[in-house]
Structure 1
Amino acid sequence: MSDLNAAMAETAQKIEQFLEQFLTAQQLSAPLPAPERLVEAIRHGALNGGKRLRPVLVHFTANLFEHPQGDLIQAGAAIECVHCYSLVHDDLPDMDNDDLRRGKPTVHKAFDPATAILAGDALLTHAFALLADENCHPDPTLRNQLVIELVYGAGVGGMAGGQMRDIEGERKGYDPETISLIHAMKTGALIRASVRIGALMGGANPSELTNLTSFGEAAGRIYQLADDILDATQSSEQLGKTAGKDEAQGKSTLIASHGLDHANAVMRKELQSALSLLDAFGERATPLAQLVTHFAERKN
């Protein structure tokens, strides 16, 4: 896995550098000056943390193809901005009310809830500008497709809707079908979008895009299952965020209903399914296969 770790680290570093340069008062001051405190909160929520797994998915998927076009780092940074916005908002007192994220105080703790809301709003908004920018891809029609994919990943039929269903579940209770739907929307939709954006920038044909969409959906399920297992088995210090939240909130995860062994078995089955979807791409799919395996085996 050393090659995978090196490739992931290289992409993550490039994303960090891009965001470091992009999320500045100078870059964000259009048409009028950006408030310094808001820029500081945005940077607190987006920089110096995370493995940047969604941009890595974009990069690895696009490189299944011989001649990907456009700036994969800029596209990945757009998705990472949306991911970071979702974390900033999820941590708010009216959502999950978390004090710790990536081993440091959450944005609403380091600043205040109102500033955290605005920081998340800004990250989400500027993400779409990154995809719409002509530097992202030379074809305006394809750039439009990329924007739409991110809307599907982040919108009411995706991440935002998944959060709403999660809030409803806290009041009404969770059944297994609802939990699966919440996971597909709240976690899986942005992973699916990352794979599809990478495939589109790689030049996938309709059949390849369909195949990779199924892979992206499986990858999302694997990531969430691993998240549930980690939540139940790791400490807050190991995770860099609050552990044990699922049990505390009474969520009907596979672990709660069937135990850890069953959840691990389901994840292994999902992993085999995901890997089989990559067979058609041969050796070029090795990094992507290793990455989804890493999703299943990660420790934080």
Structure 2
Amino acid sequence: MTKDDQMAFETILVEHAAAIEAQLRQILDGRALAGEIARPERLMAAMRHGVLNGGKRLRPFLVMESAALFSADGEAAWRVATALECMHCYSLIHDDLPAMDDDDLRRGQPTVHKAFDEATAILAGDALLTLAFDILADEATVLPPDRKVALMLALSRAAGVGGMVGGQMLDLEAERNRPDEAGIIRLQAMKTGALIRFACEAGAIVAGAPAQDRERLAEFGSAIGLAFQLADDLLDLTANASQMGKATGKDAAAGKATLVALHGATWARSQLQGLVDQAHALLEPYGERAALLKEAAKFVAVRSN
């Protein structure tokens, strides 16, 4: 990816991020919805702090672009993308807690438990997790019932005990018992990769695409999910806190098992190129329609924060 290509792609990503931010602001309105009794202001403020704080919004972008491959309904895709970002932000709020990764900064701002308190941060994460499924189920997400059910099932599996949450458990266990290479790959595929895989598959689900397309997009998501984590581990080793908007060097200081720690930075960069090539090959059947998703795969591998 040339510098000009990267800048052009980042401009598109920023435009998508602004659109999803507008959706999130609307969703996080303080007015109670039908069936709700009240929305406590402190809880809503903590949720907004954890969500409306910038970020690349890569996962919503992947939902939108995977949906665009099949000319899916754009409004429905935006709703699914918003639900996924609520799920992702919940995971970040909980991941930052003292009992987990214990981070004071996220995207250059105090983490939710620092800006508010631990109990409020836990509840804000809980509320965002629940809100993700509220968005998918709401009648405003105009999709056939079978597609809604498929989305909720796929997101549950990606986010739950066999996906992101299970991966976080494996990550905590890895601090005591260092996993081998296969264990690291499984951990990362669950903790980081599962939601990225869902993001790519979700567009095909929204569109009602055939099973083979769902699987191809899911495989694409798996490839870039692994690339995302590999690049993240490289950045933790080489970048500084101002670049990343959070503390760096923590993995090495904690003796965490990562593929970069196991094989070194040179090996990791070679692997990243291989994963980008794999991702591109999976998108070949879609021709020029997949151009932005191909750029996303490159961006994941070369990003600087």
TM-score, with length taken from structure 1: 0.96
Q: Choose the corresponding residue for 1:175, options 173, 176, 180.
A: 180
CA distance in 1, matches of 2:43, 2:53: 17
- The reply on whether 1:160 has 2:171 as its aligned counterpart is no
Q: Choose the corresponding residue for 2:146, options 141, 144, 156.
A: 141
3-state secondary structure, aligned to 1:25: coil
Offset at 1:152? Answer: 1.1
3-state secondary structure, aligned to 2:65: helix
Query: In 1, are the aligned partners of 2:72 and 2:203 still within 8 Å (CA)?
Result: no
- The reply on whether 1:11 has 2:16 as its aligned counterpart is yes
Query: In 2, are the aligned partners of 1:179 and 1:252 still within 8 Å (CA)?
Result: yes
Q: Choose the corresponding residue for 2:91, options 76, 86, 95.
A: 86
CA distance in 1, matches of 2:251, 2:110: 21
CA distance in 2, matches of 1:134, 1:141: 14
Structure 1: unaligned runs, 5 residues or longer? none
Matches within 5 A, 1:247-258: 247-258=252-263
Matches within 5 A, 1:1-300: 1=5, 2-27=7-32, 30-68=35-73, 70-300=75-305
CA distance in 2, matches of 1:60, 1:6: 15
Query: In 1, are the aligned partners of 2:64 and 2:74 still within 8 Å (CA)?
Result: no
Q: What CA deviation, in whole Å up to 9, does each residue of 1:37-90 have, x standing for no partner?
A: 111111000002111100000001011113446521111010000100000000
CA distance in 2, matches of 1:264, 1:270: 10
3-state secondary structure, aligned to 1:246: helix
Structure 2: unaligned runs, 5 residues or longer? none
CA distance in 2, matches of 1:235, 1:3: 24
Q: RMSD across aligned C-alpha pairs, in angstroms?
A: 1.4
Identity score, percent: 49
Distance 1:16 1:207, change over 3 A: same
Distance 1:5 1:32, change over 3 A: same
Q: 4+ runs of 1 displaced by more than 4 Å?
A: 27-30
Offset at 1:129? Answer: 0.7
CA distance in 2, matches of 1:37, 1:30: 20
Which range moved further: 240-249 or 103-112?
A: 240-249
Give the total of aligned pairs.
300
